[in-house]
Amino acid sequence: MMAMIYAALTGINPSLIAEIKMGRPRTLELTSAHNIITLSEVNPDSLIFMTSTDMEDLAPGDGGILVHVVGLSISMKRVVEYANPLFYEERERTSARVQIRYMCSSTIKSVESRGTGQATFVDAVKAQQYCAL
């Protein structure tokens, strides 16, 4: 089994991962800061690792899936909220939209980097599947 380093998206809803495993391409909109930072290090046409495990809890042996990045965009939106005619609050919201396609199941061999303000990378191996004839 050959392991490779992949960017890792963490804390993804398990039901969403199950839906992605069905094979249909999906577009996800992510708003969590750590996943946006990780996606800023990713290029279209690369593979990334996705797991339901929280970033802080990543450990060797955790399972997930490898997905192919078809498209990726990171954008910022300004949101203005009015409380009354004299007061308003302006916020900026950054989000990342990533279109992905399921490739295979995978397992973490080691966590290469993670932490506040930095991208998350894992060394992962593709799951081996065999069919009995």
Decide if 67 contacts 102 (C-beta within 8 A). yes
In tens, the pLDDT along 17-68 reads 999 999 888 999 999 999 999 999 999 999 999 999 998 899 999 999 999 9
Q: Which residue has the tokens 């998350």?
A: 120
The neighbouring-strand residues paired with 87 are 84
In tens, the pLDDT along 99-119 reads 999 999 999 999 988 777 889
Q: How far apart are CA 21 and CA 13, in angstroms?
A: 13
Q: Closest Cα to residue 92, out of 33, 41, 37, 35?
A: 33
Chain Cα centroid distance, residue 45: 14
DSSP character at residue 55: G
Which CATH architecture is the domain 3-126 placed in? Roll (2.30)
Mean pLDDT, the chain, integer: 88
Host H or E run for residue 26: strand 26-30
pLDDT value for 127? 78
